[in-house]
Copies of this chain bind each other. A is one copy, B any other.
Amino acid sequence: MSTTSSIPARYFEDFQPGMVFEFGAYEVGENEIIIFGKAFDPQPYHTSSRPPQGSGSGRLIASGWHTAAITMRMLVDHFLPPASVLPSPGHEALKWPRPVYSSDRLRVRATVLGIRPSESKPDRGIIQLKIETLNQHDEMVQEMMSPTFFRRRSIP
């Protein structure tokens, strides 16, 4: 769609298992955490810079769904080529092993675990990606397995 995208044009044929892509630098603001929390996940530790005693760790943390949304933003900005990527069918094994705090700086590491042609549609194939979201201490704050449909550069 976009002709101005700075994302490298990658098609199904351009991926190989073992490839690793790392990108993004998203600083998570305190206000942003609270706005997202109030809208979608109004539990006390997502909506106040000073959560009440006994509520989680006592610190403001981002909703896991906010971390997922931020991860998507980095994927769209830096990795998913508008001309070749197709809508997502979903994700497997979405995990949030550590909290995200305000002022954390997040980035994404996408690792190609496998590739296979679509059985029903010859114009596309599935790239099996492990998508990790890391903080500034190189700690993983989110992981998911994401089968991602890419168009073929040429149809066999």
Contacts and interface: CB of A to CB of B under 8 A. Distances in A.
Interface string A32-56: 0000100111111000000010111
Interface in A80-120: 82, 87-97
A19 interface: no
B95 A90 contact: yes
Given A65-B68, A72-B41, A94 B96 contact: no
Given A65-B68, A68-B68, A91 B89 contact: no
Q: How many copies of this chain does the complex contain?
A: 2
A42 to B, nearest CB: 6
A89 B95 CA distance: 6
Contacts of A90: 64, 93-96
A127 to B, nearest CB: 17
Given A90-B96, A91-B94, A94-B90, A69 B54 contact: no
Contacts of A52: 1
A52 B66 CA distance: 28
Given A40-B73, A89-B97, 15 more contacts: A1-B52, A1-B54, A2-B44, A36-B69, A39-B73, A40-B69, A40-B72, A41-B69, A42-B73, A64-B88, A65-B72, A68-B68, A88-B96, A90-B96, A92-B93
15 contacts: A1-B43, A36-B69, A39-B73, A40-B70, A40-B72, A42-B77, A56-B87, A65-B65, A65-B72, A69-B69, A90-B93, A90-B96, A91-B94, A92-B94, A94-B94
